[in-house]
Amino acid sequence: MDHTKILLDENEMPKQWYNILADLPVEPPLNPATNEPMNPADLEPIFAKELIAQEISSKKYIDIPDEIQEIYKLWRPSPLHRAHRLEKVLGTPAKIYYKNESVSPAGSHKPNTAIAQAYYNMKEGTERITTETGAGQWGSALSLCCNYFDIECKVYMVRSSFYQKPYRKSLINLWGANVVPSPSNETQFGRKILEMYPDTTGSLGIAISEAIEEAALNDNTKYALGSVLNHTSLHQTVVGLETQAQFDKTEDYPDIVIGCCGGGSNLAGVSLPYIRDNLAGKTDTRFIAVEPSACPTLTSGEFKYDFGDMAQQTPLLKMYTLGSEFIPPAIHAGGLRYHGASPIISKIVADGIMEATSYHQVEVFDAAVQFARSEGIAPAPESSHAIKCAIDEALKCKKTGEEKTILFNLSGHGHFDMGSYDKYFSGELSND
């Protein structure tokens, strides 16, 4: 039967996260003072110990605690959809599937790691967590999860998104967290940036600096990062592992796996289990990372050690980077406006295992509207980058007659991004 939705039961959920570091080690983070590999103990003032252990673990599979599984069950397993209507509109012989992570309470893939990070902090007695957020998806997810574990949460939201996406801010407040625009007057670094650039639209690099500064100065506070780091990619692998179990119920297997990429956690989540199989010689799947032309980290950045924040408080990470002082234009895909990329994703791209491409803002919204009018779901601007690439690949199949199977991750819905769509329809969106 040609299903539109491929579903799993709760008892078919992954019981472990997959750690690609067992199969593909990456360069370690460096202490910027010594240029030597970072001592894990140096990270304990801002991160929970168990998350630090996962960050450097070489264990191939890490058990998902029952307490996390129980909260996952609020929306996991998420459905795998066959995009029959989009295929028909495109007139393509390709089969297009999308993993629908927009069904989570926060409307995105972000709770997959937010729950884990809040849980491990709770186990260690953390009272407060600070974080950054670009479009608000991560901030709202962490707010939700800190609420479940009775942890106070403070979110520094990139200034442009704070005003572009007011209802993501409302959602953060709804779940009990405090959210302020970044740069803010609440940290020394925020005040410095406002003095230098009073009209700045902000950046994730600035917001990370503010969140780390507050965590470092308060003994009862830890910091949580929603992307980039190895442990966030680890937690997101439930996405790809579920997808593989769902494809087992069909006669298909993806020839191409696509994901949008800012920091890299969504892309890692859907792709790493498939990359595992490629590395083992079992498959020959093609992987594509898609980013905005306004912030082309993988397509135009340098692969080198760099700081993850503008104030240069983080360890040095080996990654593709546009430079830690880069402030991207205020495009509406706020979750993709980051100067660096995950060391794991960067390594995969540098090794030629994954391709990278970029698109301008208007063509991405063209694809989002085409998807919404065929499949009915209003996608987040971030996810729309993956949709644009999937459509392009499907149209290539239309020309060649190939019946390829294409998978992309619908990492979030656009219900809180309708202001962006209004600007698109009025012609106010620029091509970066």
Residue in this structure with the two tokens 């020394």, named with its chain if needed? 188
Q: Say what the pTM is.
A: 0.96
Question: End of a domain among 176, 196, 223?
Answer: 223
Question: End of a domain among 192, 223, 254?
Answer: 223
Supply the pLDDT for residue 2: 81
At 373, the pLDDT band (50, 70, 90 cuts) reads very high
At 1, the pLDDT band (50, 70, 90 cuts) reads low
In a domain, 12, yes or no: no
In a domain, 2, yes or no: no
Mean pLDDT of 21-41: 94
157 and 260, same domain (yes or no): no
Residue 300 maps to which CATH number? 3.40.50.1100
Mean pLDDT of 25-35: 93
Mean pLDDT of 257-262: 97
* Through-space distance between the first and last CA atoms of the chain, rounded to whole angstroms: 44
Residue 303 has pLDDT above 60, yes or no: yes
Domain span including residue 208: 18-24+32-60+110-223
DSSP calls for 133-169: ESSSHHHHHHHHHHHHTT-EEEEEEEHHHHHH-HHHH
188 and 84, same domain (yes or no): no
CB contact burial 264-290 (16+ within 10 A = b; e otherwise): bbbbbbbbbbbbbebeeeeeebbbbbb
Q: Give me the number of domains the chain comprises.
A: 2
DSSP calls for 61-128: EEEPPHHHHHHHTTTPSPPEEE-HHHHHHHT-SSEEEEEEGGGSTTSBSTHHHHHHHHHHHHHTT--E
Q: Could you tell me which residues are beta bridge partners of residue 289?
A: 259, 356
The mean pLDDT of the chain is 95
- Over residues 326-365, the pLDDT tens digits come to 988 888 877 899 999 999 999 999 999 999 999 999 999 9
142 and 215, same domain (yes or no): yes
Supply the pLDDT for residue 328: 85
312 and 359, same domain (yes or no): yes
186 and 96, same domain (yes or no): no
Question: End of a domain among 172, 188, 223?
Answer: 223
Residue 81 has pLDDT above 90, yes or no: yes
294 and 382, same domain (yes or no): yes
